[in-house]
A and B are shown apart, each in its own frame.
Chain A
Amino acid sequence: MLSATGRSTLRIFGELGDFARFTARGYTSAIGSRRLGRRLARAIYEQGVRCLPVILIVGTFTGLVLGLQGYHTLKGFGSASLLGPLVANSLIRELAPVLAALMIVGQAGSALTAELGIQRNSEQIDALETMGIDPHGFLVAPRLLAALIVYPIMTAFFALIGLVGGWISGSVLLPLPGSVYWSSVYRAIGPEDVAQCIVKALVFGGLTIALCCYNGFTAHRRSTTTGARAVSASTTRAVVFSSISVLAADYLITSLLV
């Protein structure tokens, strides 16, 4: 029992160290990687443009629900005019970075884990090595850099469309005047809120895409499964670990910045 616990602990710390080394190598290998621009553009397209419809839909409904729930709750205290600050603070500080990250992980992160896992299984990554091409620079670096660009932009889109959703709930479907809503939103958002939002988006982007790349890249190392099942297991692992890491990192950053 004791030795099994020790072995598991060592394995977990070993894998954490391996992940940290993998991520560091992914970023540093970008320096010498040739024709990075074309691969970076493709990664931005996959993580950004292709995820935009989901971000906009989820952002709209999040804002709609926040507006609806917030209006009726605040109305009970005679403070319906505070709906704008409630929606704005909830979205910008917490919901936009967290939900945008989870949506990108679900759509682009899972796809890139599966793609890398298949490339590992079909020896495409070995082939890059034998050609003298660093697979980290070729496959991982553009995706990590794209995440740092895409996550803040997608988070901003999520927050903006969420604010519109809150306005639709509070001022179009319910009787709160639009001018009250937008003026209170404007007053409620400070530079520290925007900074917290950007920090969270950058951390979530760097963390989740690195986790997705790592799980795809090491699909052949799954001891219990091989082949297609290893790719499937790696994809599941990537999505689960990324989602947990987003929520854990969110708590840590909030507790540091609040």
Chain B
Amino acid sequence: MANAQQTEHVGLARVLGPAHVWALGVGIVLVGEYMGWNFAVGKGGAYAALMACWFAGILYTCVAMIDSEVTSTVAAAGGQYTQAKHIVGPLMAFNVGLYLVFAYTMLEAANAITVGFLVDTVATMTGHEGGLDQRPFIILAIMFLAWLNYRGVLATLTFNLVITAIAFTAVIILFLATSGIFTTSPLQHKDLMSGPAALPYGWLGVLAAMHFGLWYYLGIEGTTQAAEEVRSPARSLPFGTLAGVMTLAIAATLTWYVSSGLMPWEYLGQAGVPLFDAARLSGSTFLMVLLGIGTLFATLASANGCINDASRAWFAMGRDRYLPGWFGAVHPRYRTPYRAIIFLVPIALIFALGAPIDQVITFSILSGLLEYTFMPLNIILFRKKWPLESIKRGYEHPFHPLPAYVLLGLCGITFFAVFLGYGTQLVAMIAFYIVVSLWFHFWRYRFVNRGAQFTMPWPKPRGY
């Protein structure tokens, strides 16, 4: 404990630029184009998945706009958690911190499952019979990335920058090679999406597809977790986040276009590695190898970013005593939240080794969705308590409060989409958050100092 109190005063290192912010955001999310998005096809068909992709794009544009304004002002580790602490209140902050930890830890688990599945698929294609035991590869992926995070944030995110760029380039090359620009296109949208295959569940399927439509972008808001380690947060965070959303909207549309033109929707809707399958169907060995490498890199980059973000949220809560203070320690040499990093490893492993991927993804999406529902409340209260003239923002988002209301409406639709098919998880997860909120309010909060939680150099909020 004494050691924790000494080390927690060592600050995190400010070493990151806008490119790292972009890489952190896109790196976490790009895997959504390599796996998981296609479950939206399973819930509503290919057209429904495309509509969900674009509506989810609007949702995330609102998220990025709102988040950029608040984060450019609240530039501290913990991202939305720290925002909630200063703007809404401690209990909301505690919940937001848990949303972040669970969204990213579940995403990390889903990535590790995909690594294992990819290795198994490649082994089968190369003649191995009977299937591989995927568990060693899952464990190895999580342990290696946790070690990388333990050693330092700059090396971690530089690694992410490189492998994210390769994975993104692979998507572009697949699109160019199959689009018909250079050679005859193998894409057959007309025949694969005709008749009942167009909208197999009707318009209800379009609504239902919004559930996994979030997967195209989920995690982009993680850029804010690095706020305390960015050299120029007011410039880098809005630039990196908004550039990330635009990158993902393009990559998501290209991914949908290529995949839906190569696979029947019934197959695509449950595929484990859809872009790798698309490359296989293109008939090009080069593309198949490239997209195999792309899938591996995308999953590693995402898991890497998830460990980075989840551990910082856990660390920030420990530092504030929302969780035991032992977690609020910074490594004296590497200056990373090493105890939080190590603690979250077995949790990721429990779910990566024991739960089906669509369930793990749904847990991640639900935590993300609860967080996005908090954001409109957050920005409305932020503008009310500190109007524009009261404190300087690094970035002011336009058309307030329209993005907040649009975001709230789209979150409501997505809750309904999750309810269609996964209602039990939805209720179970919210029941968990209600119980844990009561635990925090009536027990845990006694260990938290009151005024010390407010660390921003802001004037007193209006109305208090």
| A in complex with B | no
Q: Which residues of A contact B (CB under 8 A)?
A: none
Q: Which residues of B contact A (CB under 8 A)?
A: none
